[in-house]
Chains A and B, each alone.
Chain A
């Protein structure tokens, strides 16, 4: 089902996003032994600013196809932020099975540095450019001093601490365990050993969240080619899939400590005891803690305890974020669904040099997107039955 994939990540790429994107697509085509003329479907995702600082690309799939020189039968934007990569892979898989296309190209990425270096986040682009709306209620919401998405996730972390008695040390442990997995991953930007004390000594960005509990927005792309044809890669299948979207502004949610992962994973309805490795979206440590609870690895509120009691290293009993996750690989363009999807494919193809889990047949992925955690996509990949 997946015939080629590739990535390239830089802290700062000195060039255009289009250029980097096309290079990564070429690498994926090389792996698939495919010519670009054979691409007949396109999915891409973007956020304002991540393509060379521009706010709202106009007819964006056209611009991408124009630069790449492809003429797909369909071309669509997937708009789930960090969860887009998993959703577009599934949509591509469905298109292939429905004979709507032969080879679908999925592209995720852009330049985080364009936004980072201007001192804002992708969720405050309205402070840089006029004419950008983030909610239908901006007049009554966007006058506040905040630093979303981290400040909104910090609210969840504080509420989780209050309601469930989770601790800063437990969240820091998630960063420490993921760093261990990154230490031998050649794709990781951060590979030095890390301790709980070091995480807690790093500057607080939005209390209780520290610098070392947050992803670093970087420049980079991931490309995946979903095809009918056989390739040198293992023939994988989608074993389960579910998505859920809670669009509410979080003040209007019943309880902010839950994410839509609780629903997307229920829709996927996959027996977790059959999973060999988990790739869980890790924008922040708290995001991972919420997901182990919401996908059902442990009861709600005990996500901190879960990390104390389980070995989540690539050699452990419950391997999670086996390449170190985007906390260590970096978060291209403020959306790291490509990072967890690539790691799943590396594991399933026994290509995870230095951090390979033994006997991997099933990988469970969960992506979360949006400053308000509104999008969740659960995808289980494994050997074709």
Chain B
């Protein structure tokens, strides 16, 4: 698979608000940040899947500029076993269960995580 094909598929999934990821058919490694060869075993046998979007907070921080919160930034570990950077919609703690979605901001995608009540 060419990187451009991965990007097309990613954009298709992300534009519907879902989270795509890649699974290596040879070594089983799962990852989000797109590469056309497995970063662990260099295999080209990769498949693009759609995550359930369910995960847990791995780390988070509330970011301030001049005492105003500009965002809550962090990392979520999805149930499928890969981690992504995201912004959180509200205060969270490490270990909290979240549901992920995505929105387009300019020409980039922002992954968002919301705490599951």
Contacts and interface: CB of A to CB of B under 8 A. Distances in A.
A256 interface: yes
Contacts of A156: 59
B94 to A, nearest CB: 5
A251 B61 CA distance: 14
B83 interface: yes
Contacts of A159: 58-59, 94
Given A155-B73, A251-B84, A256-B59, A205 B105 contact: no
A158 B60 contact: yes
Interface in B20-61: 31-35, 39, 58-61
Interface in A132-180: 135-147, 151, 154-159, 162
B85 A144 contact: yes
B108 interface: yes
A251 B30 CA distance: 12
Contacts of A209: 61
B61 A158 contact: yes
A52 B36 CA distance: 38
Contact of A143 (B35, B83, B108): B108
A251 B59 CA distance: 10
B58 A146 contact: no
Nearest to A138: B108
A140 B34 contact: yes
A146 B59 contact: no
Contact of B73 (A135, A144, A205, A249): A144
Interface string B75-98: 100000011111100000010000
State the majority secondary structure of interface residues on A. Answer: mixed
Nearest to A207: B62
A143 B60 CA distance: 17
Interface residues on A, range: 20 to 34
A249 B64 contact: no
Nearest to A249: B33
Contact of B74 (A135, A143, A155): A155
B109 A203 contact: no
Nearest to A137: B33
B19 to A, nearest CB: 10
Interface string B94-117: 100000000011111111000000
A59 to B, nearest CB: 29
A208 B59 CA distance: 12
A29 to B, nearest CB: 42
B75 A139 contact: no
Contacts of B63: 145-147, 151, 154, 205-206
A204 interface: yes
26 contacts: A137-B34, A139-B7, A139-B109, A140-B10, A140-B108, A141-B33, A144-B87, A145-B87, A146-B87, A154-B61, A155-B59, A155-B61, A155-B73, A155-B74, A158-B59, A159-B59, A204-B62, A205-B64, A206-B62, A206-B64, A206-B73, A208-B61, A209-B61, A249-B85, A252-B83, A256-B58
